[in-house]
Structure 1
Amino acid sequence: MKKYLLISLLILTTTFYGQHLQKRTLKLMGSRFDITVSANDSVSALSYINMAINEISRIEKLISSWDPNSQTSEIIKNAGIKPVKVDTELFQLIERSLAISKLTDGAFDITYASMDKIWKFDGSMKTMPSKENIKASVAKVGYKNIELNKINHTVFLKLKGMKIGFGAIGKGYAADKAKQLLISKGVKAGIINASGDMNTWGKQPNGKDWMVAITNPMNKNNAFATLPISNKAVVTSGNYEKYVTFNNVRYTHIIDPRTGYPATDIISVSVFAPKAELADALATSIFVMGTDVGLNRINQLKAIDCIIIDKEGTIHTSNKININKYD
Structure 2
Amino acid sequence: MDITIYNADRKTAEAAIEQVEQTFQIMHHEWHAWEKGGIVSKINQAIANQQAITIPQSVADFIVKSQRLSQQSMGLFDPGIGSLVELWGFHSEKWQGPPPSDEAIRAWLSHKPSIANLSIQGNQLISSNRYVQLDFGGNAKGLAIDIALQTLQDDGIKNALVSIGGDMKAMGSKDHQAWSIGIQNPQNPNQAIAQIALSGGESIVTSGNYQRYFEWQGKRYSHILDPNTGYPANTFSSVTVIHADATTADSAATAILVAGPEHWLEVAKSMGITQAFCVDNQGKILQTKEMAKRVKLL
2:108 corresponds to which of 133, 137, 148: 137
* Matching of residue 264 in structure 1 with residue 234 in structure 2: yes
Q: Which amino acid aligns with 1:105?
A: M
For residues 38-65 of structure 1, the C-alpha deviation after alignment (integer angstroms, 9 at most, x for no partner) is 2432222111111211222233343233
* Matching of residue 219 in structure 1 with residue 188 in structure 2: yes
For residues 85-127 of structure 1, the C-alpha deviation after alignment (integer angstroms, 9 at most, x for no partner) is 11111000000110011111111111111226444695643xx
Contact 2:205–2:242 (Cα < 8 Å) also in 1? yes
How far apart, CA to CA, are the structure 2 residues paired with 1:300 and 1:73? 31
The SS at the match of 1:132 is: helix
Determine the structure 1 residue equivalent to 2:251. 281
Determine the structure 2 residue equivalent to 1:15. none
How far apart, CA to CA, are the structure 2 residues paired with 1:109 and 1:120? 17
Contact 1:63–1:170 (Cα < 8 Å) also in 2? yes
Instruction: Give runs of aligned pairs for residues 34-45 of structure 1, distance below 5 A.
Output: 34-45=2-13
Instruction: Give runs of aligned pairs for residues 147-166 of structure 1, distance below 5 A.
Output: 147-149=119-121, 152-166=122-136
Percent same amino acid at aligned positions? 28
Q: Which amino acid aligns with 2:193?
A: F
1:106–1:211 distance in 2 versus 1, CA, 3 Å: same
1:191–1:175 distance in 2 versus 1, CA, 3 Å: same
Higher helix share: 2
The SS at the match of 1:167 is: helix
Instruction: Give runs of aligned pairs for residues 171-190 of structure 1, distance below 5 A.
Output: 171-190=141-160
TM-score (norm 1): 0.80
Q: Which amino acid aligns with 1:181?
A: T
Residue 283 of structure 1, CA deviation:
1.1
2:63 corresponds to which of 90, 94, 113: 94
For residues 248-268 of structure 1, the C-alpha deviation after alignment (integer angstroms, 9 at most, x for no partner) is 986533211232122121111
1:301–1:91 distance in 2 versus 1, CA, 3 Å: closer
The SS at the match of 2:81 is: helix
Q: Which amino acid aligns with 2:77?
A: F
Q: Where does structure 2 lack aligned partners over 5 or more consecutive residues?
A: none
How far apart, CA to CA, are the structure 2 residues paired with 1:130 and 1:57? 36
* Matching of residue 62 in structure 1 with residue 33 in structure 2: no
1:55–1:299 distance in 2 versus 1, CA, 3 Å: same
Greater shift in the superposed pair: 297-306 or 180-189: 297-306
How far apart, CA to CA, are the structure 1 residues paired with 2:161 and 2:123? 33
Contact 1:114–1:140 (Cα < 8 Å) also in 2? no
Contact 1:214–1:226 (Cα < 8 Å) also in 2? yes
Residue 279 of structure 1, CA deviation:
1.1
Greater shift in the superposed pair: 267-276 or 38-47: 38-47
1:109–1:325 distance in 2 versus 1, CA, 3 Å: closer
The SS at the match of 2:138 is: coil
For residues 235-256 of structure 1, the C-alpha deviation after alignment (integer angstroms, 9 at most, x for no partner) is 112213625578x986533211
* Matching of residue 107 in structure 1 with residue 79 in structure 2: no
TM-score (norm 2): 0.87
Contact 1:111–1:162 (Cα < 8 Å) also in 2? yes
For residues 27-84 of structure 1, the C-alpha deviation after alignment (integer angstroms, 9 at most, x for no partner) is xxxxxx1112224322221111112112222333432333333222221121143211
Larger Rg: 1
How far apart, CA to CA, are the structure 2 residues paired with 1:44 and 1:215? 32
Residue 201 of structure 1, CA deviation:
0.9
Contact 1:147–1:156 (Cα < 8 Å) also in 2? yes
How far apart, CA to CA, are the structure 2 residues paired with 1:83 and 1:301? 30
The SS at the match of 2:130 is: coil
1:143–1:170 distance in 2 versus 1, CA, 3 Å: same
Contact 2:72–2:271 (Cα < 8 Å) also in 1? no
How far apart, CA to CA, are the structure 1 residues paired with 2:85 and 2:208? 23
Q: Which amino acid aligns with 2:63?
A: I
The SS at the match of 2:276 is: strand
Contact 1:64–1:70 (Cα < 8 Å) also in 2? yes
The SS at the match of 1:111 is: coil
Residue 315 of structure 1, CA deviation:
0.4
How far apart, CA to CA, are the structure 2 residues paired with 1:173 and 1:256? 22
Determine the structure 1 residue equivalent to 2:21. 53
Contact 2:180–2:196 (Cα < 8 Å) also in 1? yes
Contact 1:274–1:303 (Cα < 8 Å) also in 2? no
Aligned pair count?
289
How far apart, CA to CA, are the structure 2 residues paired with 1:297 and 1:161? 26
